[in-house]
């Protein structure tokens, strides 16, 4: 059974002074069996969050990683620098692709560094509004290209530890006034697994968790988690609100229990 994962992406929010308390509060309110919880704070808050979560079954993740191990890269953070601070990392987030111009080749290099360092990657893929408006086939083709670009150079490493997680971000449904449905996300998740099955070294793709990452809230998470192809969520703004996180993780626990019951 694939794990149910709820990952919190705090983006450029919180400071070392308040991040620990927020992480502690969220951890305390989301102790739900069967759900893998991850909190990804800003780099400057990693130590505070790690210390606050001591004794809790909540992983800490970084929001990005550099594609080189060291060098003249002012302001960047390499995989070795995350040792002891994080065990997960987000790679290829839509905002990094948009704002930093990250290409599939660069994301592949970052993914390789993360895997080599023993970090569990959440690889983000997804299409823009203009692509979605050309139809589902165009959207699936773009996502397939993102997957192949990132994974084909790393397929053996990604498979070796069984650590790969994919987050599908329908960028067209974030801040546009248009909503993705559970059916939309499930269809793309199935398409993603089809691509994974075609990449040498990744097996069938059926063991890879796929998360939904488009404006997730406690109110809409149920629509996505009722879909068997979806295994959790990458949560943005709502992850800064303990009430929202409690609702999201609580609903994820219902899905986890239901899936466990069907395999018993």
* First and final C-alpha spacing in the chain: 11
Q: Is residue 167 within 8 Å of residue 125, measured between CB atoms?
A: yes
The yes-or-no answer on residue 169 being catalytic is: yes
Annotated catalytic residue within 95, 140, 169, 244 = 169
> Which token pair is 8?
């919190």
Handedness of CA 192, 193, 197, 200 (dihedral sign): positive
Name the CA radius of gyration of the chain, rounded.
17
Q: Which of 67, 93, 223, 227 is catalytic?
A: 93
Is 93 in the active site?
A: yes
Q: How many CB atoms lie within 10 A of CB 83?
A: 12
Strand, helix or coil at 179?
coil
Q: Rounded to whole angstroms, how far apart are CA atoms 7 and 1? A: 18
Residues labelled catalytic: 93, 169
């Amino acid at each position: 059974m694939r794990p149910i994962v709820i990952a919190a992406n705090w983006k450029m929010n919180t400071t070392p002074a308040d991040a620990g308390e927020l992480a502690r509060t969220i951890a305390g309110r989301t102790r739900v069996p069967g759900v893998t919880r991850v909190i990804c704070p800003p780099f400057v808050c990693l130590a505070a969050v790690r210390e606050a979560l001591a004794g809790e079954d909540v992983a800490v993740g970084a929001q990005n990683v550099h594609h080189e191990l060291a060098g003249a890269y002012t302001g960047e953070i390499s995989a070795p620098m995350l040792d002891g601070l994080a065990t997960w990392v987000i790679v290829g987030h839509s905002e990094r692709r948009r704002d930093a111009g990250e290409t599939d080749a660069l994301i592949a290099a970052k993914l390789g560094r993360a895997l080599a360092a023993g970090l569990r990657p959440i690889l983000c893929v997804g299409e823009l509004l203009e692509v979605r408006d050309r139809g589902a086939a165009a959207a699936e083709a773009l996502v397939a290209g993102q997957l192949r670009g990132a994974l084909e150079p790393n397929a053996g490493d990604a498979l070796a530890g069984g650590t790969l997680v994919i987050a599908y971000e329908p960028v067209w449904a974030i801040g546009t006034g248009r909503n993705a449905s559970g059916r939309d996300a499930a269809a793309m998740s199935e398409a993603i697994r089809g691509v994974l099955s075609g990449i040498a070294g990744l097996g069938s793709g059926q063991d890879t968790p796929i998360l939904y990452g488009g404006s997730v809230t406690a109110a809409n998470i149920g629509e996505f988690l009722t879909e068997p192809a979806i295994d959790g969520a990458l949560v943005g703004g709502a992850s800064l609100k303990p009430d929202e996180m409690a609702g999201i993780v609580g609903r994820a626990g219902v899905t986890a229990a239901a899936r466990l019951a069907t395999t018993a």
